[in-house]
């Protein structure tokens, strides 16, 4: 390996080389260098103009590539900055896997990239090794350590997702639908309602302890698997496109029990006073002009 170079070794999950797909191998490499660019920026080397140049690649099992940092500015050395950034990334990855918390420099975007890299390490890739030449820094990501890191990242990613959710508009109202589940919504209990208007599931969050206790005292689990039709009042949160995102429950849930109706009971031959539907609507339209 050349001084300051980086080697990546990707081991297939199966016993034969054919179990490693091109997509998995290439994406694993790309995600690593995306994370490395994040580490470069965090180390203050963004202005250094570091470019990662491919030195070698081998498709023989295991899949291996070697790269080195070069400067986009002629005559400028970036070796020290590249080594420091690669070391920062190695320390950060090991910190997540073995100390169970992400480094401060790893933002939501970097965590999302790492999450994809770790998921591939559980499906399609048995182990990914990162080595930094002239350094004792190395990272070995295998199935067990990948799972530990994913467990660390999941609550972090949930918080970032919550913060970035678009709650452009809110108003007091209600939503009608069928109860299809119960779950936790950012550490708050929530009723999952399938909205008949939106044709999708809406979390109805029980934020107020008094309302939560009152509802839980009157409801039972059977209403979930019975797909009970209800009307839930509360604060409705919408994104900028007008799509309903969630409801914070502010009152008692109202059951909707359809009443069988005989159509003959609704029939009124004198409703239009003998006029045809067309003439009746025409008259109504004229009266309201």
Report the C-alpha gap between 86 and 130 in whole angstroms: 10
CATH of the domain at 248: 2.40.50.140
69 and 188 share a domain?
no
186 and 151 share a domain?
no
The answer to whether the CB of 31 falls within 8 A of the CB of 116 is: yes
The answer to the question of residue 188 being in a domain is yes
156 and 189 share a domain?
no
pLDDT given at position 47: 47
Rounded to the nearest integer, the mean pLDDT of the chain is 83
160 and 175 share a domain?
no
Nearest to 245 by CA among 234, 256, 255: 234
150 and 202 share a domain?
no
DSSP 101: S
The answer to the question of residue 54 being in a domain is yes
Strand partners, 176: 231
DSSP 48: G
The answer to the question of residue 213 being in a domain is yes
The answer to whether the CB of 224 falls within 8 A of the CB of 230 is: no
Does 233 have pLDDT greater than 80?
yes
183 and 247 share a domain?
yes
Nearest to 122 by CA among 144, 93, 155: 144
Report the C-alpha gap between 204 and 191 in whole angstroms: 5
Mind listing the pLDDT tens digit for each residue in 98-128?
A: 988 888 888 888 888 899 999 988 888 889 9
Cα three-residue angle 207-211-215, rounded to 5 degrees: 115
Mind listing the pLDDT tens digit for each residue in 69-96?
A: 888 777 788 888 888 888 999 999 999 9
Number of domains into which the chain is organized: 2
231 and 157 share a domain?
no
146 and 179 share a domain?
no
Full residue range of the structural domain in which residue 205 is found: 169-255
- The residue written with tokens 């470069």 in the block is 40
Mind listing the pLDDT tens digit for each residue in 1-59?
A: 566 689 999 998 765 556 788 888 889 999 999 999 888 888 765 545 788 889 999 88
The answer to the question of residue 274 being in a domain is no
62 and 150 share a domain?
yes
The answer to whether the CB of 96 falls within 8 A of the CB of 111 is: no
């Amino acid at each position: 390996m050349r001084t300051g170079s980086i080697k990546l070794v990707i081991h297939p999950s199966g016993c034969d080389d054919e179990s490693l797909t091109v997509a998995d191998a290439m994406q694993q490499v790309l995600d690593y260098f995306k994370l490395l660019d994040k580490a470069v920026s965090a180390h203050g080397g963004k202005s250094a103009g570091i470019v990662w140049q491919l030195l070698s690649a081998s498709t023989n099992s295991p899949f291996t590539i070697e790269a080195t940092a070069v400067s986009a500015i002629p005559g400028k050395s970036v070796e020290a900055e590249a080594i420091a950034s690669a070391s920062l990334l190695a320390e950060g990855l090991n910190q997540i896997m073995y100390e169970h918390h992400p480094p401060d420099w790893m933002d939501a975007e970097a965590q999302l990239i790492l999450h994809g890299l770790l998921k591939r390490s559980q499906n399609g890739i048995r182990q990914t090794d990162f080595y930094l030449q002239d350094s004792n820094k190395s990272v070995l990501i295998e199935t067990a350590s990948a799972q530990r890191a994913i467990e660390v990242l999941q609550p972090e990613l949930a918080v970032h997702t919550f913060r970035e959710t678009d709650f452009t508009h809110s108003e007091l109202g209600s939503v009608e639908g069928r109860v299809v589940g119960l779950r936790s919504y950012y550490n708050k209990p929530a009723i999952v309602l399938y909205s008949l208007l939106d044709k999708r599931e809406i979390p109805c969050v029980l934020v107020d302890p008094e309302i939560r206790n009152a509802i839980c005292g009157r409801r039972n689990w059977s209403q979930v698997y019975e797909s009970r039709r209800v009307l839930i009042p509360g604060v409705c949160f919408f994104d900028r496109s007008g799509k309903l995102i969630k409801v914070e429950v502010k009152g008692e849930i109202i059951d909707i029990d359809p009443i069988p109706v005989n159509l003959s009971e609704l029939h009124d031959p004198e409703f239009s006073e003998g006029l045809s539907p067309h003439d009746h609507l025409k008259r109504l339209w004229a009266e309201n002009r």
